[in-house]
Amino acid sequence: MKVLIVEDDDAMASALDAAVVSAGHTSSRVSRGADALLEHRRFEVILLDLGLPDMDGLEVLRKLRQVTPVPILILTARDDERSVVLGLRSGADDYLVKPVKLVELLARIEAVTRRTGRASDTRQRSIVLGELEVDLERRVAVLGQQALPLTPTEFDLLALLAGHAGSVVTREQILDALWGDAFVASSRSLDVHLTGLRSKLQLPGFIINVRGVGYRVEADPA
């Protein structure tokens, strides 16, 4: 597994890295919350300290939970019950109080990844919604018998929405997936690509704007 360590203390980060590597995983470390929000997509597990220099770890946790389902384990010196409950309710999969026993840490990582079903080899190759087929391997979208002339970003946007057909995909999730930054990237860019995609699909009512939240495509288009 690829583990992201979000920790500003050098000694603690080194110990965590050594433990993760000793278990056969790979790790990378960042010391700021802002960096975690930019780097998280490459990792399968996140170890998050709450006492970060640029922003509170709970704020980082909430923002990560808006854009990623990967397991997040909090590592912190805050051991009061309120902090534990708040962390878990904010989306953490587990909560460990420093100093952390490294054997326990590795066991907790294995436990949360099993719970969240990390080991899934069933990658989806195509998505079919009515007459629309999105071929994820060849990166081609076909409507009826006609291949749509989509730009790479338009295809990625369609694949993301179609892959969550019937559910709302938030603007933050889209910005994070397509531009790599849910909280800085320009929303205007998304609007332009969405307009282009709708124009090429020519399927009125297929991509629904959920006001103030994001977008949804119909799971069973007429």
Q: What is the pLDDT of residues 12-42, one digit of tens each?
A: 999 999 999 999 999 999 999 999 999 999 9
* Burial of 152: CB neighbours in 10 Å, binned 0-12, 13-18, 19+: exposed
- Over the range 57-77, which residues count as b (16 or more CB within 10 Å of their CB) and which as e? bbebbebbeebbebbbbbbbe
What pLDDT sits at residue 127?
A: 92
Please tell me the pTM assigned to this model.
Answer: 0.68
**Kind and range of the H or E element at 209?**
strand 207-210
Has residue 7 got a pLDDT over 90?
yes
What pLDDT sits at residue 115?
A: 65
**Distance from the first to the final alpha carbon of the chain:** 42
Q: Could you read off the pLDDT of 111-150 as tens digits, one per residue?
A: 877 766 644 445 678 999 999 999 998 899 999 989 999 9
Rounded to an integer, the average pLDDT of 208-222 is 84
Say how far apart CA 60 and CA 65 lie, in whole Å.
9
Has residue 183 got a pLDDT over 70?
no
CA–CA distances in Å: residue 54 to residues 36, 100, 209:
11, 23, 34
CA–CA distances in Å: residue 142 to residues 97, 109, 126, 139, 150:
52, 41, 11, 10, 10
Q: Could you read off the pLDDT of 46-74 as tens digits, one per residue?
A: 999 999 999 999 999 999 988 888 889 99
